[in-house]
Amino acid sequence: MRVLCLVGLLALTAPAWAGRREADDLKRQIEVQRAGMGDLERLDDRRAVPDELALLRSWIDEATTQHQKEEWDRVREVLDRVSAQSELIRQKINAAKMSAQAADREAALKRSREKVERTKAAIQQATVNKKALEMNAK
């Protein structure tokens, strides 16, 4: 009889434990995403994705609100969107950094080419001057 009561009691309290565990897990995921948002803001030193970061922030706030309302399915949906948005932001930040790096390299290449052209012109002028001096010396 005691075993039966114990099994019945466990059967009734197990869903409550699972629900509390799920709520804690979702809350932890929200906090991880919130911390990750701060990291993304620091990575965006060129201010390439301010609108996407604002959208991400609003979705994290929405997940927090849904968590307070105990809408677990809705929290999971929003967290999925947050994860996808975070990845999109990472990709856009990387693309902006690569574009800036390419622009810097293009500018350096242009400066190098201009320097080569100036050097060629200086060599050509020096050659002309040398020949003129040689002609005057004869």
Amino acid 55: pLDDT: 97
Residue 92 token pair: 């856009």
Phi, psi of 70 (to 5 degrees): 60, 40
Amino acid 19: pLDDT: 76
Residues 6+ apart with CB under 8 A from 55: 85
pLDDT in tens, 51-62: 999 999 999 999
Amino acid 18: pLDDT: 53
The pTM for the full model equals 0.73
In this structure, the dihedral spanned by the alpha carbons of residues 60, 62, 68 and 71, taken in order and rounded to 10 degrees, is -110
Amino acid 1: pLDDT: 56
Residue 121 pLDDT greater than 50, yes or no = yes
